Structure 1
Amino acid sequence: MSATRAGSRDPKPPVIAVVGPTGSGKSDLGVAVALALDGEVINADAMQFYRGMDIGTAKISAAERRGVPHHLLDTMDVTQEASVSDFQAECRLAIGEIHARGKRAILVGGSGLYVRAALDVLEFPGTDPGVRQRLEQEHESDGLPSLQERLERVDPVSAGRLGDARRIIRALEVFELTGRPFSSFMPKREYFQPAVQIGLDVDREILRDRLAMRVHGMVDAGLLAEVTRLDAAGLRQGKTASRALGYAQFLKVLDGESDTATAAEETIVATRQFARRQLTWFRADPRIHWIDWQDPDLVAKALEICGSPASVI
């Protein structure tokens, strides 16, 4: 789908999404595209919603934003639970407001489901705190295999896709509330409004090394102190934030169950695994236009995909 050229005041120009695995340079490319197209960035990284989770999420700094407005950063306390359906509503509101100002909306992030929620026609089934609590109690008393077996019986597609307790509980909750398998709510690849997606294509071995260096850099920058501060603010009570890469591992250091070196290595392993899952998710979407992350003409090629001539940044 072609995008509107820079300077156009089309009331619904295509949303531009910059996607790819963690550590691939999405934030920098998003800023560069926004500067070239008079745009504003919307964050689609679920862990960057949280105030104070800066070092461990590699959150883009105020200086790195280069004056480009960023939306949906630092919007939640660590005790709050992130919701894809809430994000969808907030993101689409932000897109509308950006377009109403005559600007371009640039969605940037690697949380695949959040990106799809923003871009695609996607229905979210409701929730029931009582059902959710009962399923969580069953998980604590009977263990995850019991819930996995139940999900296999009612929704084998989701059972084959989901491996963590939170998502399995959600899938069982949806089935109880609607009588429909959770997998039936997954969207078709149909844009909610015009969009263009740019993916950063990485060299996996180079990315592996980069991720290790980045985690060690986070440790040097004070990740343990950040986790300590957030622990005092209720990090452990946050169902989403407490599971974030690095934070879960370094909470063990605070508990005396691990040391800094071990926590760093465990974070590196978990981050590499997460990057592989991100690549698998985004590679499955044939609408994404891929560019080599190390291409010297990366910004120019991204702008060409957006339908705009390259500009000097």
Structure 2
Amino acid sequence: MLVVIVGPTGTGKSELSLDVAERLAERGRAVEVINADAMQLYRGMDVGTAKLPIEARRGIPHHLLDVLDVTDEATVARYQEDARAAIAEVLARGAVPILVGGSGLYVSSVIYDFRFPGTDPELRARLEADLVEHGPGALHARLTAIDPQAAERIGASNGRRLVRALEVVEITGKPHAASLPEQPVPWMPEVAIGLTAPREELTARLDARVEAMWADGLVDEVESLVPMGIEHGITASRAIGYAQALGQLQGTLSEPEAIEITQQLTRRYARRQVSWFKRYPGTRWFETGAGVPAGERVDGVSALIHGALSA
């Protein structure tokens, strides 16, 4: 059985996974964690992704962290293959895999029966040229005319995903196939845990988290990644916080502007995450607000998972 822990950024998913792993270990069940945060796939992107350093992982094995260079493009199809292979290996060892993260499409690609159509290099090149010449707004309008649901979900600013959606439509003649099915078909038996927090509390927490990223050296981290090619990375250069830190280094943003924009984008991203994960049927939601003792939450989640594993 697969355990899944999801929720918006800043709700403590990583910490909960470690606490639960230790509780299950007390009951004789080994646990290994599978990362489901797209930006934590990248080597060197640590401060801005809140990636747990090795010494903070409490000796619990983690998978799919630091597997890409900043110049590599992260794709859901590749992630699905790698994550499912890692899960299968964990199960073969008799351990419990816990999929942890907030990248909705990445999580969905693993836990549901997603099938990704192939690519067409010539078509992709033409669409990318259109993106450069006309901008994402024009591609969004084109997608809206043929697949309004995909256009609404992707938004008008994510050029890379707009290109992929249009490519899929042209290849298959059908709406964008890499979307959450209306009636999801599980890939394997699972127990899904969702974390949430009161909106005002989460907003304050996220704003403080962004300020801490700058205080903890995000700009220095990004500067160290420039010689490795982060400016040319299709995915990495657009990551929230990293794009703004690059702007600060390049002189197009002041530090206060970079922080403020990152806070705005982080809050918006968290709202999208809430909407995405609320669609997961059968998910048990746990509050992470200040009024809920952490031990009580860990007890509840651990008992739920242990019961599902023992059923």
For the criterion TM > 0.5, the same-fold answer is: yes
Q: Aligned partners of 2:179 and 2:205: how far apart in 1?
A: 36
2:196 pairs, out of 187, 194, 201, with: 201
Once the two structures are superposed, the pairs formed by residues 211-290 of structure 1 within 5 Å of their partners are 211-290=206-285
Partner residue in 1 for 2:302: 303
2:174 pairs, out of 169, 180, 191, with: 180
2:162 pairs, out of 133, 157, 168, with: 168
Q: Would you say the 8 A contact 1:18–1:108 is kept in 2?
A: yes
Q: Aligned partners of 2:185 and 2:207: how far apart in 1?
A: 36
Q: Would you say the 8 A contact 2:150–2:179 is kept in 1?
A: no
Partner residue in 2 for 1:18: 5
Gaps of at least 5 residues in structure 1 are: 1-13
Q: Would you say the 8 A contact 2:248–2:254 is kept in 1?
A: yes
Are the structure 2 counterparts of residues 95 and 58 from structure 1 closer, same or farther at C-alpha, using a change threshold of 3 Å?
Answer: same
Partner residue in 1 for 2:49: 57
Are the structure 2 counterparts of residues 184 and 219 from structure 1 closer, same or farther at C-alpha, using a change threshold of 3 Å?
Answer: closer
Partner residue in 2 for 1:102: 94
Once the two structures are superposed, the pairs formed by residues 89-168 of structure 1 within 5 Å of their partners are 89-163=81-155, 164-168=158-162
Amino acid aligned to 1:302: V
Q: Aligned partners of 2:213 and 2:142: how far apart in 1?
A: 40
Are 2:36 and 1:36 equivalent residues in the alignment? no
Amino acid aligned to 2:151: A
Aligned length: 296
Q: Aligned partners of 2:264 and 2:153: how far apart in 1?
A: 21
Are the structure 2 counterparts of residues 265 and 91 from structure 1 closer, same or farther at C-alpha, using a change threshold of 3 Å?
Answer: same
Q: Aligned partners of 1:134 and 1:71: how far apart in 2?
A: 36
Q: Aligned partners of 1:206 and 1:53: how far apart in 2?
A: 26
Q: Would you say the 8 A contact 2:115–2:178 is kept in 1?
A: no
Please report the RMSD computed on the Cα atoms of aligned residues, expressed in angstroms.
1.5
Q: Aligned partners of 1:184 and 1:239: how far apart in 2?
A: 19
Q: Aligned partners of 2:36 and 2:195: how far apart in 1?
A: 15
2:288 pairs, out of 282, 290, 293, with: 293
Are 2:38 and 1:46 equivalent residues in the alignment? yes
Q: Deviation digits for residues 58-115 of structure 1, max 9, x if unmatched? A: 1011222100000000000000000111111111111111111111000100001111
Are the structure 2 counterparts of residues 103 and 184 from structure 1 closer, same or farther at C-alpha, using a change threshold of 3 Å?
Answer: closer
Q: Would you say the 8 A contact 1:157–1:183 is kept in 2?
A: no
Normalising by structure 1, we get a TM-score of: 0.91
Amino acid aligned to 1:109: G
Are the structure 2 counterparts of residues 148 and 47 from structure 1 closer, same or farther at C-alpha, using a change threshold of 3 Å?
Answer: same
Normalising by structure 2, we get a TM-score of: 0.91
Task: Report which stretch shifted further, 43-52 or 60-69.
Answer: 60-69
Q: Aligned partners of 2:257 and 2:207: how far apart in 1?
A: 13
Q: Would you say the 8 A contact 1:124–1:185 is kept in 2?
A: no
Overall identity of the aligned pairs, in %:
48
Task: Report which stretch shifted further, 20-29 or 140-149.
Answer: 140-149
